[in-house]
Structure 1
Amino acid sequence: MSDDAGRAWKDWHEHRVDTVSAPYGPLALTATHWLADYPDGRIPAVPGRWQETDGRVRLTATEADGLTLDGAPFAGTARLDPDHAPPAGARVAAGPLHLVVVRREGAVAVRVFDPDSPARRAFRGIEVTPYDPALVLPGRFRPYGEQRTVRVETADGQVRGLGLDGELVFDRAGTEHRLHVAADGESGALWAVFADVTSSLTSYRFRFLKPGPPHRDGRVTVDLNRAELPPCAFAEHFICPFPPPGNTLPFEVTAGERRLKAALAPPF
């Protein structure tokens, strides 16, 4: 292992820990409220009245609700689009709680991020496998030509569409493997959700791989050392997609993030 590669991986791991444990990181998510479940707009324990109108949200509040909008005390009515900024920059807050509007397949929800969440207080770190240069593999992106959508189960037990743009093809120990991947429309960065032989045994039930954008000729580096846990590993209120058909690797990926470190046992 070169010093530079090992140092870069260590920096990546430390950044991941800092990101997930931040005050409004994934560990802070305590609820996802789908507005279709609250036709009167009243969400238990969430101030204000939240109603969907033409794909947007109409928020109505009084001074007694104690909400802020864009950092200023809010009373009245506002129309909100889904948040595109990180939860730390959410437009609506109720004291330390950040209230984030999201939309998935036309359904709108309000998410609650609490920096004092039980998950964040219990966090002890991420179990991770030390860097192994043998798991940095050359690969190639083969686009489909047009995006395909497959229906997959998500972490909340629903079935939703997952857009896929091509295949990530790589060789390991003389055997070719493929993962169906999505490509970001702006940066071209690739993203895959995959399982392997260790899934649900010595690692979380599935993980993400984000190898970045491919070169113009399709070349891309597949670094299994940077396999990472999905958001739903940190909070059950995320709706992460499960791996699509074909994205279960037939070997052990003993690399990258594996699962959350267990909480310390209480003293006797």
Structure 2
Amino acid sequence: MSTDAPQPHGFEQAAQDWKHWHEERTATVAGPYGPLSLTGTHWLSDYPEGHIPEVPGQWREDGDELVLSASAADGLTVDGEPFAGQVRLTADRGPIDESRVAHGGRRLVVLSREGLWAVRDFDPDSPARRAFRAVEATPYDARWVLPGTFRPYDSARTVRVENADGVERGLGLAGEIVFELGGTEHTLQVAVEPDGSLWAVFADATSGNSSYRFRFLRPAAPAEDGSVTVDLNRALLPPCAFADHFICPFPPPGNTLSVAVEAGERNRVDS
């Protein structure tokens, strides 16, 4: 898409809003418990004895809960208090820094996916966080802000897609957004988040070349008539672009655009 034409009225404010968004994104990524701090996702099925290397305590599954056993010497805290004994845990749903279990500055986050349990280790002193310098992103251009239409499916569907860790898992989809780019109609399958906003996992002609191998897009909730704004300036790097231990889903079939989306976040930059 050419960028040498005059920008429309309101460009300066929109560009400033994007700059603020980009700065906030960078601060979140670089934060003590941002994605750069994830040093491991440990699936309990790989540790039948319940002892995870370099993670204190003994962890075991028990139906729809996880049981943690530890002594005072393990140095764990649960709900902010020194812990010794046994506690039953469910999956952590809130912010990382609010996980129930911690070890010093590290947060040990309980995760459940398709009936399997894992413990994630977030360490503010991770090598990736120390090396991080910036999120490379293309400056705002109003021509990447496109009108679209959301078309919900009659019923939600689940497709199996490969994840970043090489495992195939289900990806829930609730509809699709349709928009025109470069004179051609394009479609992206999307999930609907609890707040009504949309989420797409997509690739394009830049993926794996001048940008990361795939990206996320999170349009705001559609209007009652289904109209939605597709702002590709806010294409996001997925968490696995910052740490190898995330299990991000790859784009579902049909979510690879034939055009080059030279907008939004492109790559992680390290020092």
Q: What is the TM-score of this pair, normalised by structure 2?
A: 0.95
Q: Give SS of 1:212's match.
A: coil
| Corresponding residue number in structure 2 for 1:255 | 263
State yes or no: 1:241 paired with 2:256.
no
Indicate yes or no: 2:201 matched with 1:193. Answer: yes
| Structure 1, unpaired ranges of 5+ | none
Alignment of 1:128 with 2:134, yes or no, is: no
DSSP-derived class of the 1:146 partner = strand
Counterpart secondary structure, 1:23 = coil
Tell me the alpha carbon deviations over residues 140-165 of structure 1, each in whole angstroms, 9 at most, x when there is no partner: 10001211110000000010000000
Q: SS of the counterpart of 1:211?
A: coil
Give the letter aligned to residue 129 of structure 1.
T
**Counterpart-to-counterpart distance in 2, 1:227 and 1:173:** 18
Aligned match of 1:39: 48
Query: Which residues of 2 match residues 1-268 of structure 1 at below 5 A?
Result: 1=7, 2-184=11-193, 186-261=194-269, 263-264=270-271
Residue 170 of structure 1, CA deviation: 0.4
Once residues 268 and 226 of structure 2 are traced to their aligned partners in structure 1, the CA distance between those partners, rounded to angstroms, is 34
Is the CA contact (8 Å cut-off) linking 1:191 and 1:209 kept in structure 2? yes
Q: Distance in 2 between matches of 1:190 and 1:105?
A: 22
Find runs of 4+ consecutive structure 1 residues off by over 3 angstroms.
Answer: none
Could you tell me how far 1:56 is from its partner in structure 2? 1.1
For residues 194 and 141 of structure 1, the distance between their equivalents in structure 2, rounded to whole angstroms, comes to 16
Tell whether the 8 Å contact from 1:141 to 1:220 is kept in structure 2 after alignment: yes
Encode CA deviations 1:50-74: one digit per residue, 9 max, x unaligned.
0011121100111011000011000
Query: Secondary structure of 1:202's partner?
Result: coil
Which letter does structure 2 place at the counterpart of 1:217?
D
Amino acid paired to 2:216: F
The alpha carbon displacement at 1:20 in A equals 0.7
- The alpha carbon displacement at 1:12 in A equals 0.7
Q: How far apart, CA to CA, are the structure 2 residues paired with 1:48 and 1:138? A: 52
Seq. identity, %: 63
Q: Distance in 2 between matches of 1:50 and 1:164?
A: 33
Kindly provide the amino acid, as one letter, of the partner of residue 244 in structure 1: P
Cα distance between partner residues in 2 of 1:246 and 1:13: 28
Aligned residues: 262
Decide whether the 8 Å contact of 1:55 with 1:108 is kept in 2: no
Residue type of the partner of 1:254? E
Tell me how far apart the structure 1 counterparts of residues 218 and 135 of structure 2 sit (CA, whole Å). Answer: 18
User: Given residue 232 of structure 1, which amino acid in structure 2 is its aligned partner?
Assistant: C
CA distance in 2, matches of 1:29, 1:236: 8
